[in-house]
A = this chain, B = another copy of it.
Amino acid sequence: MDRFIVHKTEGKARRGTFRTVHGDIQTPVFMNVGTCAAVKGGVSTMDLKEIGCQVELSNTYHLHVRPGDELIKKMGGLHRFFNWDRPVLTDSGGFQVFSLAKLRKIREEGVYFYSHVDGKPIFMGPEQSMQIQSRLGSTIAMAFDECVANPAPRDYVQASVERTSRWLLRCKDELRLLNSFPHTVNREQLLFGINQGGTFDDIRIAHMKEIAGYGLDGYAIGGLAVGEETAEMYRVIDAVEPYMPSDKPRYLMGVGTPVNILESVYRGIDFFDCVMPSRNARHGNMFTWSGKVNLKNECYFDDPRPIEEGCLCPACRHYSRSYIRHLLKAKEMLGMRLCVLHNLYFYNKLTERIRAELDKGTFTSFYKEYREILDVHCNGYEKSEL
């Protein structure tokens, strides 16, 4: 049985199914980010089911620091800890180590740093990252890599990518070992490798060619949307994509706006995740099929319409722009919750719609129409969510 089945392609865009021990994932898919085992804005796993989430993404570094992966293993793994029976992807912690941790020192064996919560010294290398993710028992583990901020000097990027390749083999070996133990939470845990190389196409391609031979369960493009121009991001995807195994899912990490997702599906990407829907919701920036709406604007003061007419999310089915705007202005938690629910629902619907268009063979015309309509600007990340 193939783990990943590509049912249909249209240009480079792919319509697939990824089979996991926690159920099938229909791709293209947007994964909903629950940093500390909960989506920001008071959103529970019950809510995630209601808004059509297929895959929850949790952060290895955050959970290692608090409440600790030992506790989560003791509670039966992440799925039992937060009561979720669908797939979970855990990142490797690498991205947070490089964006949040203090005074880090990178060595061949791994990274020495201090916790951003309590300042305690922590060491994390490929083996540690795999051990933590194994204790969390996620469906898909991500390889431990170095995420380099763009732009970076070529020499640094070259050396970093070579180390990331060595780390990847260590991740693979460690996970194979962990999956062989009888008390491992999820003995069918999968591993995705991560392509790096900054904005240097040739380094990216050489790295991708190399790791493609490692026979992993999926391949991610990391280190994009970390400072470079959007056009540069698309150029890198276009350069690397031909070297990604066509029979494995492809994951563009931490991206992006609705139009980023559309453009990347068009370029052959299958998996996405981003904190943008929840981060934007907190500031009243709502995603709709006709572009962004900022609910804090005065013009919505007495607007009786839902955030988006026809939308079936829990916010739009029950409440008006006027009411939700009032909640945001009064700093009532419910305002943020309703906005997050709408935005995540929108992202889940967007990928559902993309899948339907691929199924019908009409993705290209959908893409051409909506790349204009959905073109809203990405304003970067909030540090607290990385």
Contact-size category for A: 35 or more
**Which residues of chain A have a CB within 8 Å of any CB of chain B?**
36-46, 66-67, 71, 74-76, 81-83, 301-302, 304, 314, 318-320, 322-323, 325-327, 329-330, 332-338
Evaluate whether A38 and B304 lie within 8 angstroms (CB atoms) in the complex, with A66-B326, A322-B71 already known: no
Residue of chain B at shortest CB distance from A332: B38
Evaluate whether A82 and B323 lie within 8 angstroms (CB atoms) in the complex, with A66-B330, A71-B301, A333-B337 already known: yes
Identical subunits present: 2
Evaluate whether A320 and B66 lie within 8 angstroms (CB atoms) in the complex, with A333-B336, A333-B337, A338-B44 already known: no
Cα–Cα distance between A291 and B40 once the two chains are bound (Å): 31
Evaluate whether A334 and B81 lie within 8 angstroms (CB atoms) in the complex, with A75-B302, A314-B46, A318-B46 already known: no
Cα–Cα distance between A338 and B37 once the two chains are bound (Å): 14
CB distance from A347 to the nearest CB of B (A): 19
CB-based contact A83/B318 at 8 Å: yes
CB-based contact A333/B333 at 8 Å: yes
* Chain B residues with CB below 8 A from A41, complex form: 42, 333
CB-defined A-B contacts under 8 Å, sample of 21: A36-B332, A37-B323, A37-B326, A38-B327, A38-B330, A40-B332, A42-B336, A42-B337, A44-B338, A46-B318, A71-B301, A71-B302, A71-B326, A74-B302, A75-B323, A76-B304, A81-B320, A82-B319, A83-B319, A333-B333, A337-B337
